[in-house]
Structure 1
Amino acid sequence: MDVAPKVQAESPAPAEPPKPACKPCCRGKRLKKPSELSIYECPADNVEYELVEEQPGAVENGVRYVRTSLSPYYGTVAEAKEFSQNYLVVARNQVTAGVKQTTGETAFRS
């Protein structure tokens, strides 16, 4: 009887999964180091980006139209709301005094 230990053949090391192929938009790009970020540079030296001014779009024109057409009414509505609140809150008002008397409310704000 052979008592020599049985040696199994070593299995080959598992192959590393293949790296996913880069997308076409990512080729040639690399991450910047923190020292390369523009916050550490003089703003005048940053020529990576330039300001492009465009004409207002349809949505912006629509919002502008609505705001300019409704702005005269906004002040009127705000004044009417304030008047109504004051009318209901003033203790000297007869309606308010009548409500206080009929409901028996003593903690009515004046």
Structure 2
Amino acid sequence: MAVQAYEQSLKYETFSYLPPMKPEQVRRQIGYAISQGWNPAVEHTERGTTAKTSFWYMWKLPLFGEQNIDAVLAEIEACHREFPEHMVRFVAYDNYSQSQGQCFVVYR
């Protein structure tokens, strides 16, 4: 088996090495995070930045206790409409471990 070389494009999260997720896949990932009891949040940043030089701006406050996947998707869409040239990512905060339970870029 040959080793696969990745393009020289910027990689931001674990899922960025995979093909872009379809809307239903994004929905299922958000549903998983909510089912784990994690708090969803939306962040955005300018395109073309690297992990070392980028700062992700929080879109509003985290959606503490949100159980509705559609509400989370609506906030992701609102952030993308407000900042169409920015990358937008979904973050799920785990209260128990006090860290991110999940994080992936929705709009590159």
The two structures have a TM-score, normalised by structure 1, of 0.19
The higher radius of gyration belongs to: 1
Q: Name the structure with the higher strand share.
A: 2
The two structures have a TM-score, normalised by structure 2, of 0.20
Q: Name the structure with the higher helix share.
A: 1
